Amino acid sequence: MPFDLQPILQGEILHIRPLRPEDWDALYAVASDPLIWELHPIQDRYKEEVFKGFFREAMESRGALIAIDSKDGQVIGSSRFHGYDQEKSEIEIGWTFLARSHWGGRANREVKRLMLDHAFTFVNTVIFWVGDENWRSQGAMTKIGGVKRKGLFTRELSGDRPYFIFEIAKSRYLQGGRALVA
């Protein structure tokens, strides 16, 4: 069975579904907050022209998802599956951002748990690229059981910006790591 990059996922507080063109206004309303991007390697993503490129790339990726608060139906952010490697049994979860109203609570953990649960039906490892200066995301990765690979990494997709790669192995996740994102 091929990896479904755009599943519909339902959690306790969030509904996650494939990103659609008509989601532009609601998602940009969230992304237009400069504080969301202050630690991110692309700090001007709150600007409409910059976010248009991000949104276009998300749509073209065919792996982008939108996160909706189940309580009020409000869009609160997005995430993406990327780089599925069947041979390595690995996929990336990334490009995740959430409205500040949902920081520090259950929303980020639920996005990750739903996406990890889905990914581990297809792969043995999930990776996350995190900017080397993005201490907030690095801390979040550690809280959900991510293990940092040695060194800094770059890729064509991101230019010369340095990133850490965190990984979560299916075996560790199933042997108790899942509780970290519950």
pLDDT of res. 103: 86
* Structure confidence at residue 134 as a pLDDT band (50, 70, 90): confident
How far is residue 83's CA from residue 26's CA, in Å, rounded to a whole number?
A: 26
Element (H, E) at 96: strand 90-98
Rounded to an integer, the average pLDDT of 88-105 is 92
* Structure confidence at residue 109 as a pLDDT band (50, 70, 90): confident
| Domain at 9-177, CATH class | alpha beta
- Parse the chain into domains and list their residue ranges: 9-177
Rounded to an integer, the average pLDDT of 5-32 is 97
Pairing of strands 90-98, 75-85: antiparallel
Q: Catalogue the long-range contacts made by 45-49 (C-beta closer than 8 Å, 24 or more residues apart).
A: none
Q: Are 162 and 153 in contact (CB under 8 A)?
A: yes
Q: In the structure encoding, which two tokens stand for residue 96, read together?
A: 């995740």
pTM of the predicted model, to two decimals? 0.90
pLDDT digits (tens, 9 = 90+) for 56-77: 999 999 999 999 999 999 999 9
